[in-house]
Amino acid sequence: MSDDNLLRTPLYDLHVEAGGKMVPFAGYAMPVQYPLGIMNEHLHTRDKAGLFDVSHMGQAYIRSKDGSDPAKIIEELMPSALSVLKAGKMRYSVLLNDDGGIEDDLMVTRTFEPEGTLYVVVNAACKNKDYDILEDKLGDRLTLEPLEDRALIALQGPKAEAVLSALAPEVADLAFMEATMVTLEGVVCWVSRSGYTGEDGYEISVPSDEAEALSRRLLISDDVELIGLGARDSLRLEAGLCLSGHDFDASTSPVEANVIFALGKKRREDGDFVGAERILGELGNGAANVRVGIVPSGRAPAREGTEIASEDGEIVGKITSGGFGPTYGGPVAMGFVPASLSENGTKLKLMIRGKAHEATVTATPFVPQRYKRKQS
Amino acid sequence: MTKYTEDHEWIEIDGDVATVGITDYAQKALGDVVFVELPEVGATFSAGDEVAVVESVKAASEVYAPLTGDIVEVNEDLEGEPALVNSDSTGNGWFFKIKLANVADLDDLMDEAAYNAHVAGLD
């Protein structure tokens, strides 16, 4: 695909002006890094605050056609407790196929609209597929309204609260996975306390034509730097978070992908979602292979696709995400191994460029998450 | 005398031994270097063989042998401090020394003026 055919987010001009190195990603021209560089962008986000353009991701409203709870309907394809979501609460979930495989992961939020409208954010590379699946399987009962005229920006890091609450003090009152309507610089935005870096922070859905002005306003703070996709990837890897299409694909179940937290307790009991037979079976008996965190002993990063061997040299799996963790200070990875080799502390070998490197199964996150959870 | 390759390596000649590293242009393009896999001392490489790998946060990139010869020394400082490739790419960030099989092969490489013109043509 030539650059001319790439889509541009509303912040394209800002990226170019800031010296962003633009690369094709999921059909969009996106900044992989700025002059600060991936390492320093990563460290800055963990130290202060990073501003990410995630406008390429899919935002949509979901409503039912008959006025009933749309969450009850999408629960047929998603195993999380969604119908119990109260207004202003959000959850991570997965969109399942008939075989219990994960088509995509997504965030589902209950808006304040009286009919219980849901706001979902899906992965850029999957948005058309996701919308087609929802339309195909649930289109008789749901309407899906993609929000093509909205940008999405993420402000992540320990200074995010101070920076954003200077524009709207009420955002400080949001807890992790809560969302609300907030006026920022005179513009009504949908703000959630969430993100995909392991840090505290916010995601801000803003009308496209206001996105650049709001971003520039946030960048006035010395604590805020623009952060590209390169650091976004290393931040989410250190946080132990899955990347769609890499750490799972349509053949991977939520049990295999080790996102069991996305399965609601009552939903497990009821088994009222597609693929439940397989997923509940794996929950009870264990999956043959599971995603684990892996720390290489040496300094060599183990990239996606690196073969994993048992200690006696038998190839047993593959790395699905891997690289250097700037905050961790060394290489970190995730990959799939047989259940018998999935215990933390298990020794493995990674076949990097034909040579075996020692590695150890290690609990994720590799760097502690610092979400502002609700005080109970 | 310093020579250059199209793959952005510099080659400093001392008799029949060449010290090899990557250029400032290359280190900037790679970004923060976090790991360098160096060849074994004593190993023989032909020009164009993959001789080393340099890894940034984002990706791994191959380094090719600029000339045919035997590795006589590698920069062990890079093991503990790979960032030397960024901070001093043409000095302390060198990769390896190779004893050339045929010193005349150097004539095939670019001099500084030719390399600078090559880089200027890339931007």
pLDDT in tens, A349-372: 999 999 999 999 999 999 999 999
How much is the ipTM here? 0.89
B77 assigned to some structural domain: yes
Q: Which domain holds residue B64?
A: 2-102
In this structure, are residues A72 and A65 in contact, taking their beta carbons and an 8 Å threshold? no
The C-alpha of A211 sits at a distance from chain B's nearest C-alpha, in angstroms, of: 28
Q: How far apart are CA A234 and CA B34, in angstroms?
A: 13
CATH of domain A3-55+149-238: 3.30.1360.120
CATH code of residue B38:
2.40.50.100
β-strands B96-100, B17-22: how paired?
Answer: antiparallel
Going from the C-alpha of A358 to that of each of A336, A350, A366, the distances in angstroms are 16, 6, 18
B83 assigned to some structural domain: yes
pLDDT in tens, A280-297: 999 999 999 999 999 999
- pLDDT average per 10 residues of sequence, chain B (123 residues): 95 96 95 96 97 94 96 97 97 97 93 95 83
Nearest CB neighbour to B53, from listed A234, A324, A353:
A353
How many domains in chain B?
1
B76 assigned to some structural domain: yes
β-strands A28-33, A201-207: how paired?
Answer: unpaired
pLDDT in tens, A105-142: 999 999 999 999 999 999 999 999 999 999 999 999 99
Do B31 and A37 lie within an 8 Å CB cutoff? yes
B22 assigned to some structural domain: yes
Domain A288-362: what homologous superfamily? Aminomethyltransferase beta-barrel domains (2.40.30.110)
In this structure, are residues A204 and A191 in contact, taking their beta carbons and an 8 Å threshold? yes
Q: How far apart are CA A17 and CA B75, in angstroms?
A: 39
Please report, as a single letter, which amino acid is at residue A296.
Answer: P
Question: What confidence score (pLDDT) does residue A339 get?
Answer: 97
SS3 string, B45-99, reads ECCCCEEEEEEECCCEEEEECCCCEEEEEECCHHHHCCCHHHHCCCCCCCCEEEE
Contacts of B57 in chain A (CB under 8 A): 38-39, 42, 230-231, 234, 323-324, 326
Do A324 and B55 lie within an 8 Å CB cutoff? yes
Report the chain B residue with the minimal C-alpha distance to residue A229: B58
pLDDT in tens, A169-209: 999 999 999 999 999 999 999 999 999 999 999 999 999 99
Segments making up each domain of chain A, as ranges: 3-55+149-238, 288-362
Q: How far apart are CA A29 and CA A298, in angstroms?
A: 35
